[in-house]
Structure 1
Amino acid sequence: MELTKKFYAVLLFMPQLILSLFLLLGVMIGIVQSFGYIPSLNLNEFSLVYYQDLLSNKQFSQSVFFSLKIALYSAFISTIIGLAWAYFWLIQEKLSRWQRMMVKIPIIVPHLVVALFILQLFGRTGIFARILFAVGFKNAQNWFDSLVFQPNGWGIIFSFMWKEIPFVLFYCYPIISSINRKLGEAAQTLGANRMQSFIKIVLPLSKSTILAAFFIIFMYTFGSYELPALLGPTLPKGLPVAAYQAYIHPDLSQRPLAMAYNGILLLVSLLAAAIIYLMAFYSQLKNYYPLKKR
């Protein structure tokens, strides 16, 4: 009987294992091609020339910094606002059904639709610009020039925040609320107000969950293609946009260059994952072995 249960457990795990193997196989093939080895294109030698070309390209470095800025700003602002929203939920005695439902709506709306919203609302000829112009602000169109199709990337950041703020709320709130019931209320009985107990007790104990939410948002926005492609400037391009344009280049001999873009994306992702993991590990180690004050 026990062997039968184990067999069924392995059987249920097989689809995930097969999909993971295909994913790893595709990643390995892409890494090999990034070094210039594609026999079907008569490229039979490993070389670092494509990585060297990217690293020496000024537009590539601008794309990396542009994507990193969008990812960091989106993750940081979304995390801060999501935690503030979680605090607002905590101080309420009971959450109504419509409050939970209203937060779920942005999550189910695709980013492509959000990009359309941003263009229609915040574009140079968008709804807000037209309303302000109609009420007498003649320079209203110029006020919205810096939101979309600009190197500052704020239109892209606002679009990501539409879904990522509710994600932070739903991801962190169950942990935060459980800690608040156990230790936050105890701190309030000792004289701390709700804000103090939330900042000094609840947030530090939820650090691992908050870091995980930040990391998920950072990696998603860093590797996202559609919003930088629709709302981003011509230059600098987002790194995924530059990678896709290199991939669809009509000259197939440039295919290793596109794979090199993906290799850089993978490297940055692994570095970010290692940093977040070390931060979470250090916080847990600090909780187990608190540092002594000098």
Structure 2
Amino acid sequence: MSKTKELARHKRDRTWMWIQLLPVMLVLTVLFGGALVLGVAQSLGFAPWFGVNTFPDFSYFGALWGDSFFWRSLGLTLYYAIAATLISLVMGVLLALALVRSFPSKSLYKYLYKLPLMIPYTVGIALAVIMLGNGGMLSRLMAFAGFIDDPSQFPQILKTHMGWGIIAVYVWKQTPFVALTIYAVLLGVGRETEEAAAILGANKRQVFFQVTLPQILPGIISSTLIIFAFNIGAFEAPFILGGGFPDTLPVVAWRYFNDADYTLQLQGMATVVSIALVAGVILYSYLAFYRRYERRIGRH
């Protein structure tokens, strides 16, 4: 009888939880779901407010995917997104591992490393221009120290397709986010397992790869998904710090939307949908691979 009452109470709690979540879910469904449906429809030729209604029309995707510039832009977009994500991930994990250990001024440093999280990306872009440009602070310091004769001789970091400035802004902003996520996981699991492995004779490399890494892997996966999804769709940094044609896909979409020929907005929407498709496939594959790994090690 008590078990029946417990099940009934659990069912009531779940029902009440869904009732509480219903208003938020309704707003999210209408706003984001509606925008998604409208965006896909517009990319397929549904735009009666522009005098265009050829739905379903795949010619916009055909014209986009059939042009070599799209694939060059896609490669550039993926390069920036993947490079920044990997560097942020490695640096964030190293920072989190350092934070769980004791060192002088740790309490102060725990606040300092979070500062980039509170600064907008546009401010980070402005700092990159001030610091890394050919007439910026770093080039002037190099000239003052005698490493170069003139600030104009400083290597070109910004406005190139290598994207060092773009990647630097992403890494500067996202490394603290990854560190914060992993640090929270490390605090939750504690260090008892690591200490036990060390006592049993495992070296530092074995402790990390066989004990620590499997414990923090869920935090790594979640933070990677978030920052990669942002990087592949980011607009400001590639637009301001990028090297121009070929641009990243978000910048290409913006140029379509900003064109005097307003019917090109349908081509821009096809570009946006293409970004979403590519990001969705990559993130789904990444998550599916992780799920298979979890099942293989017996963790569900």
The Cα of 1:220 is off from its aligned counterpart by 0.5
Identity of aligned residues (%): 24
What residue number does 1:14 align with?
23
AA of the residue aligned to 1:142: Q
For the pair 1:33 / 2:42, whether they are aligned, the reply is yes
What residue number does 1:191 align with?
201
1:63/1:237 contact within 8 Å kept: yes
The Cα of 1:22 is off from its aligned counterpart by 1.2
Report the CA distance shift for 1:122/1:94 in structure 2 as closer, same or farther (over 3 A): closer
For the pair 1:251 / 2:265, whether they are aligned, the reply is no
The Cα of 1:12 is off from its aligned counterpart by 5.1
2:191 to 181, 194, 202: 181
> How high is the TM-score relative to the length of structure 2?
0.88
What residue number does 2:5 align with?
none
For the pair 1:141 / 2:152, whether they are aligned, the reply is yes
Rounded Cα–Cα distance in structure 1 between residues aligned with 2:181 and 2:264: 41
The Cα of 1:92 is off from its aligned counterpart by 2.4
The Cα of 1:19 is off from its aligned counterpart by 2.7
Partner SS state of residue 28, structure 1: helix
Rounded Cα–Cα distance in structure 2 between residues aligned with 1:8 and 1:285: 29
AA of the residue aligned to 1:97: S
1:226 to 223, 236, 251: 236
What residue number does 2:82 align with?
72
What residue number does 1:99 align with?
109
The Cα of 1:86 is off from its aligned counterpart by 1.6
Say how many residue pairs are matched. Answer: 287
AA of the residue aligned to 1:129: S
Rounded Cα–Cα distance in structure 1 between residues aligned with 2:275 and 2:163: 19
What residue number does 1:119 align with?
129
Q: Displaced runs of 4+ in structure 1, greater than 4 A?
A: 2-9
For the pair 1:42 / 2:19, whether they are aligned, the reply is no
The Cα of 1:95 is off from its aligned counterpart by 7.5
What residue number does 2:281 align with?
271
Residues 221-250 of structure 1 show CA distances to partners (whole Å, capped at 9, x for unaligned) of: 110111111111111211111111111222
AA of the residue aligned to 1:72: I
Report the CA distance shift for 1:198/1:56 in structure 2 as closer, same or farther (over 3 A): same
Rounded Cα–Cα distance in structure 1 between residues aligned with 2:46 and 2:25: 30
AA of the residue aligned to 2:272: N
Q: Which runs of 5+ in 2 are unaligned?
A: 1-8
> How high is the TM-score relative to the length of structure 1?
0.90
1:180/1:198 contact within 8 Å kept: no
For the aligned residue pairs, the C-alpha RMSD in angstroms reads 2.2
What residue number does 2:165 align with?
155
1:67/1:222 contact within 8 Å kept: yes
